[in-house]
Structure 1
Amino acid sequence: MIKAPVSNELFQRAQNSIPGGVNSPVRAFRAVGGNPRFMASAKGPYMFDEDGNRYIDLINSWGPMILGHAAEVVNEAVQQAIPNSLSFGAPTRKEIEIAELIVSMVPSIEKVRMVNSGTEATMSAIRVARGYTGRDKIIKFEGCYHGHGDSFLISAGSGAITLGVPDSPGVTKGTANDTLTAPYNNLEAVQTLVDANKGQVAAIILEPVAGNMGLVTPAEGFLQGLRDICNREGIVLIFDEVMTGFRLSAGGAQQLYGVTPDMSTLGKIIGGGMPVGAYGGKKEIMEYVAPAGPVYQAGTLSGNPIAMAAGMAMLTYLKENPEVYTQLEQITGKMVAGMQQNLEKLGLNYTINHVGSMFSIFFTDKPVYDFESAKTSDTALFGRYFNAMLQRGVYLAPSQYEALFVSAAITEELAEQYVQANFEALQEAIKA
């Protein structure tokens, strides 16, 4: 039995000074029960909490630790950059070098602007798309998360052409009126929205592989169908690749699926663990960004030299070592296959969605292809399963509706340990 008295004490203390005791809601474990573990250190495939417990990590800071924690190639780059100052607020050579590297790797990007988070990237991309097209409305998809910008915290009404309503207090009805929402993987609903708002839609934004309703992959023809609609209607197609960029392939999901958007938003892996984001796209669109054009966006810490050093090291390594993706695919495939065997042995209803080094398990007998089908999963069973895995030293995302990320630090032996822990945890979860 893994115990965590220090983490429990820290969580109680944190609630006195931090809303909910955490700085990002999912960390509070409310979706799975119990108290969060407070981490002290991490190396390779493992995290260690304040009580000294060790966990095989399958979150990897929600994606960026693709090489595992504290990867030497990234650590060395950061250590070399630190003595030169933590921030300049002025241009640096590294900003040019990483921009050139991103342009060389991501099919859709001809010019790129660095920011400090994925939320900044998506907010900025939407603003640029509106400035470029002269239109106000955007289309997003149920279950796709694009950060906490006002335009994205919207849920749909009952009908396909119903205007959105605010999904969070503090989001104005005016903002909601400009956000239209469609079910993921539903081209007909998108076309209906476009037809009902002719000449008013500036952008369609989506995760090309969704990771925030659990992992949901695009149906065959879905991404190309969106590309075709945008071509016909003069709409800017934006792929939010904050999670999938540089993870599913060196060129992201757009390279993997062979569909090129007009703009892309990036983050996570670019920083190698440092706070970072980026947005980029066609030259004619990005030329609308100040100071080249009239759409304003700025940030004192954008292009931070430490983050750029970490990102340059990470992206260079991934570009020069494409075998990393083959290794990740093989290890993740082994873990998924083992899980499937376990679930079959125990006679459980399940769906596992998997692409590259990302996967999710849903406790449902239905295929999961959008947010509504994801919600058919037995979340109570997932909560018991999560805690049973935690007790066996495996750290999963504390929510049914989050994808898991495998790192290159996961060995064959650790994959086998994961599969064994999975079997034991499932047995415990169904008995509870």
Structure 2
Amino acid sequence: MTRDATLPPASSSAGPSSTAQSQALFARAQAVTPGGVNSPVRAFKSVGGVPRFIASAHGAYLTDADGTRYIDYIGSWGPMILGHDHPAVREAIGTALNGGTSFGAPSAREVELAELVTRLTGTDKVRFTSSGTEATMSALRLARGFTGRKFIVKFRGNYHGHADGLLVEAGSGLMTNADGPLGAAAPSSAGVPQEYAGLTLVTEYNDPAALDALIAARGHEIAAVIFEPVVGNAGVLIPTPNFLAALHRVKASGALLIADEVMTGFRLSLNGATGLLGLEPDLSCWGKIIGGGLPVGAYGGRAEIMEFVSPQGPVYQAGTLSGNPLAMAAGLATLSALEADPDIYARLDVYTARLAAGLKDAAAAAGVAISVNHIGSMLTAFHQDAPHGSVSTYTQAAGSDTAGFAAWFQGMLARGIYWAPSQFESIFVSAAHTDTELAATLDAAHAAYAAGQAP
């Protein structure tokens, strides 16, 4: 692991730092943007305080508008697996930029990235989009068109983008609902009609019996089951072997299995969680890393399914900026760098495991209960004493001490560590994180806990 040697490590000692520029920018943003941010999780709503407005990023570090530097564990929410401002990615974007920013017509880089993605993932065909939300909603439309069925299944706590049919949660009965059909869901956002939400059935992640029961009752109506192979948006939840087996039993009903690897794709292995866990989805969705940090998404699968997509088939999906040459160049450079470094995933796993162990030690020394879930380079420190030492379901995750996490987050931020500003998110380790960053992070964690930054 390497980092820019010209940049000193962030300080792990608490000390006053100005937030005047971030406060001023946030005030201006609130006047012209809902909540002052362009994605809700950036608002610090669940942890309090003013979001930091970032001026630059290099390696494992962010620098905010006030000049304060932080060790970054968000990595633009996952894409920056090589670290920020990686030379190969920057060079690839610059070369592409010399040829133009957008064509509205095919280019060679689209073909090259599609060839690389299909080869690494064992997928027959892939279609690029401009976001993960576009990828998942397109995959679901394709599943409905291919199967001729209209219902889909998702799991509580799994996030698949903000398309209307996916912004739903389970009803109070989960598997039985006195006011509606088995598995019926209610919208979790204003603006989503109940009639649309009613086409999405919801059950519990890591509950194989509940999934089996839902498929037994309604499998003949279900077009697809969509899932995060490793959940990152309820905190990191790792699937059990029994749950993975239940997912694969879904196929016997004629429903398609859709793996949402927007977050895990190319992060947990060169074939994402699919390769790491031995999954066999009918369709997969990707994003984040395949664009090297630029806006991108993709979905792909078996040829006989993908050939239903327009213009070859009857399922319409389009995107004016899909296959953007800058995003394709950044994705090619990122995936090529990952493929050229066969030991990178092992190194990321070792760093993350050491981080997990260090966080547990820091919390224990202060008498604070935490349960740390980690896999590959993804990690969540749940502020709770979970049964059996780990959190496995959305219901368990929801029992975390969010106030305690918020206080700890602020303690880490004050000590130069930029952690995900929500208890229910994954953090991401990059190849730019070294022993220097690990030591500074664990020093900050010990200090934050010792100073009473958590109950």
- Which residue in 2 is equivalent to 1:167? 188
Q: Which moved more, 1:152-161 or 1:284-293?
A: 152-161
Alignment partner for residue 369 of structure 1, among 383, 389, 392?
392
TM-superposed CA distance for 1:87, in Å, is: 0.4
- Whether 1:119 aligns to 2:133 is yes
1:153-181 deviation digits (Å, cap 9, x = unpaired)? 00111221241111111111111111000
- Whether 1:138 aligns to 2:143 is no
For 2:273, give the aligned amino acid. A
- Which residue in 1 is equivalent to 2:402? 379
TM-superposed CA distance for 1:281, in Å, is: 0.6
Whole-Å Cα distance in 2 between the matches of residues 362 and 300 of structure 1? 41
- Which residue in 1 is equivalent to 2:13? none
Kept after mapping to 1: 8 A contact 2:378/2:429: yes
Whole-Å Cα distance in 2 between the matches of residues 258 and 2 of structure 1? 47
- Whether 1:44 aligns to 2:65 is no
How do 1:314-325 residues align onto structure 2 when only pairs under 5 Å count?
314-325=334-345
- Which residue in 1 is equivalent to 2:33? 18
TM-superposed CA distance for 1:362, in Å, is: 0.6
TM-superposed CA distance for 1:430, in Å, is: 4.6
1:185-234 deviation digits (Å, cap 9, x = unpaired)? 0111112222222410000001000000011100123123211222x111
- Whether 1:83 aligns to 2:70 is no
How do 1:190-339 residues align onto structure 2 when only pairs under 5 Å count?
190-230=211-251, 232-339=252-359
**Secondary structure of the structure 2 residue equivalent to 1:329:** helix
Q: Which moved more, 1:418-427 or 1:65-74?
A: 418-427
1:223-252 deviation digits (Å, cap 9, x = unpaired)? 23211222x111100000000000000100
- The count of residues paired between Structure 1 and Structure 2 equals 430
**Secondary structure of the structure 2 residue equivalent to 1:202:** strand
Whole-Å Cα distance in 2 between the matches of residues 267 and 57 of structure 1? 20
- Which residue in 1 is equivalent to 2:10? none
Whole-Å Cα distance in 2 between the matches of residues 372 and 126 of structure 1? 26
For 1:423, give the aligned amino acid. H
Q: TM-score, normalised by structure 2?
A: 0.93
Whole-Å Cα distance in 1 between the matches of residues 37 and 205 of structure 2? 30
Whole-Å Cα distance in 2 between the matches of residues 139 and 413 of structure 1? 44
Kept after mapping to 1: 8 A contact 2:407/2:454: no
Q: TM-score, normalised by structure 1?
A: 0.98
TM-superposed CA distance for 1:44, in Å, is: 0.3
For 1:186, give the aligned amino acid. D
Whole-Å Cα distance in 2 between the matches of residues 65 and 204 of structure 1? 29
Structure 1 segments of 4 or more deviating over 6 A? none
TM-superposed CA distance for 1:347, in Å, is: 2.3
Whole-Å Cα distance in 1 between the matches of residues 141 and 230 of structure 2? 23
**Secondary structure of the structure 2 residue equivalent to 1:197:** helix
Whole-Å Cα distance in 2 between the matches of residues 425 and 247 of structure 1? 29
Whole-Å Cα distance in 2 between the matches of residues 310 and 198 of structure 1? 40
Whole-Å Cα distance in 1 between the matches of residues 131 and 32 of structure 2? 24
**Secondary structure of the structure 1 residue equivalent to 2:47:** coil
Kept after mapping to 2: 8 A contact 1:381/1:429: no
Whole-Å Cα distance in 2 between the matches of residues 289 and 428 of structure 1? 57
Q: Mark the CA change 1:317 to 1:424 in structure 2 (over 3 Å): closer, same or farther.
A: same
CA RMSD of aligned residues (A): 1.0
How do 1:95-110 residues align onto structure 2 when only pairs under 5 Å count?
95-107=110-122, 109-110=123-124
Alignment partner for residue 436 of structure 2, among 404, 413, 420?
413
Whole-Å Cα distance in 2 between the matches of residues 226 and 389 of structure 1? 38
Whole-Å Cα distance in 1 between the matches of residues 167 and 63 of structure 2? 34
Kept after mapping to 2: 8 A contact 1:115/1:276: yes
**Secondary structure of the structure 1 residue equivalent to 2:49:** coil
- Whether 1:348 aligns to 2:374 is no
5+ residue gaps, structure 2, are 1-15, 176-181
Kept after mapping to 1: 8 A contact 2:411/2:453: no
Alignment partner for residue 53 of structure 1, among 68, 91, 110?
68
Kept after mapping to 1: 8 A contact 2:250/2:256: no
Report sequence identity in percent.
51
Kept after mapping to 2: 8 A contact 1:224/1:259: no
**Secondary structure of the structure 2 residue equivalent to 1:381:** helix
TM-superposed CA distance for 1:431, in Å, is: 6.3
Kept after mapping to 2: 8 A contact 1:250/1:322: no
Kept after mapping to 2: 8 A contact 1:114/1:278: yes
Whole-Å Cα distance in 1 between the matches of residues 172 and 37 of structure 2? 33
